[in-house]
A and B are shown apart, each in its own frame.
Chain A
Amino acid sequence: MQAIPIITFEAANQLLNALTDYLEKSEASFALVIDRGGSILSQHGDIPAGSDMTILAALAAGSYAATRELATRIGEADFSTLHQEGQKMQLLMSAVDEDVVLVTGFGPQTALGLVRFYAARAVPQVAAIIQDARAAQRPAVPIFTAADVAAAFPR
């Protein structure tokens, strides 16, 4: 497993640009980039009212992980995409790399084929950004120190 990057301003902007372009072309409603532990790395689009994206990400990661496990049980290394269809909304999950998944939500305003087509193009872009973020140097100054943590937990 590769370390998940620190999301710097530069990486965040690059991810946002990639997702903006993807949503414009695919006409999907929203997109999330999540790690397979269930944490959100980036998100963009019209989030359905009342939806908690943190929970959606955790459930999507669990669903994707279970599907991947199913794949290995029938001799596949992975299922690269997972599609769920409801009455109004659909979800498409696409593997970006070993540790990252692109989750797309869309309604009847677009078509599965179109979303799939542009998701396949967005995935390598997102993968490249994540790869660069992994390789990027750590910030020179620590975010906080053990003393700061101790101060936040007074005895």
Chain B
Amino acid sequence: MAIVNYVNKEIQFKVVYYGPALCGKTTNLTYIHGQVAEAHKGELVSLATAADRTLFFDFLPLNAVVIKGFKTKFQLYTVPGQVMYNATRQLVLRSVDGIVFVADSQWDKMEENVESFKNLQDNLAEQGSSLDQLPYLLQYNKRDLPNVAPLHYLEYLLNNRRVRVPSFEAAATTGQGVFASLNAISRMLLQKFAREHDTMAGNRQQPAAPPARIVLSGIAAATLRR
């Protein structure tokens, strides 16, 4: 749940990049860290093995848009993708506000994608949450490789829940789709926050938010290196 600090006029959100091993979660954060201006980012911290595989998590704090005088802060985490680190994934998911599920588009990774997506749902259920309650989107990564599955097949495999969510093609090594995904999840989180707080404040119910579009504004415009 987002934390609101009236003294500092800040709202903090926790976003977790989830997905199978070697799908490009850390590459997303590395690319973002490389592109965002110093004033809008903290250090990128990686708790990794000697072989540069994520052991616990990667962490990147970002300062994004200011809305009505409130600074919005996004704390980006990755989980370790390897199957044996499930206990660690559960810890990183704690208090999560939104999820970017990074799928590996290569044909031979489809089973791992589906298993990881199922694992995400199981782990959320463990902490009394679900994808019905959290904003999330799908990022189909590695679209620049030759042996990738078509988009409609990935949608069929992963974007088949009752409510379809935004999905993005990406090649995280070159940055394609990275900020589009980040921008969209940020917008989804802020819209959910606005709706919930408006309701809690006793005001009229806001209409459902429109699906996020690919816009390189918001976070990207506010934070990219100039």
Contacts and interface: CB of A to CB of B under 8 A. Distances in A.
B47 interface: yes
Contacts, number: 132
A6 B4 contact: yes
Interface stretch (A21-29, A79-87, A104-112, A140-148): A140-148
B194 A59 contact: no
B70 A143 contact: yes
A69 B43 CA distance: 27
Nearest to A2: B1
A146 B194 contact: yes
Contact of B4 (A36, A99, A143, A152): A143
A8 B75 contact: no
Contacts of B45: 55, 58-59
Given A39-B75, A69-B91, A142-B194, A7 B218 contact: no
Given A55-B45, A148-B194, A12 B209 contact: no
Interface residues of A, number: 41
B83 to A, nearest CB: 17
B206 A12 contact: no
Contacts of B95: 1, 4, 35-39, 99
Interface in A114-150: 138-146, 148-150
Given A4-B3, A152-B190, A36 B67 contact: no
B187 interface: yes
Contact of A143 (B11, B47, B207): B11
B65 A65 contact: no
A150 B77 CA distance: 25
A143 B127 contact: no
Given A138-B200, A139-B201, A152-B65, A54 B191 contact: no
B117 interface: no
Given A59-B45, A152-B218, A142 B91 contact: no
B57 A62 contact: yes
A74 interface: no
A141 to B, nearest CB: 6
6 contacts: A4-B95, A52-B43, A58-B59, A144-B194, A146-B194, A149-B194
Given A12-B5, A52-B43, A143-B70, 12 more contacts: A4-B95, A6-B6, A7-B7, A38-B75, A62-B91, A140-B202, A142-B198, A143-B197, A148-B68, A153-B183, A153-B215, A153-B217
Interface of B: 1, 3-7, 11-12, 14, 42-43, 45, 47, 56-57, 59, 61, 65, 67-68, 70, 75, 77, 87-88, 91-92, 94-96, 127-128, 183, 187, 190-191, 194-195, 197-198, 200-203, 206-207, 209, 213, 215, 217-218
Which 10 pairs from chain A and chain B are nearest by CB?
Answer: A37-B95, A153-B218, A65-B91, A12-B7, A144-B68, A7-B5, A142-B198, A149-B190, A6-B4, A138-B200
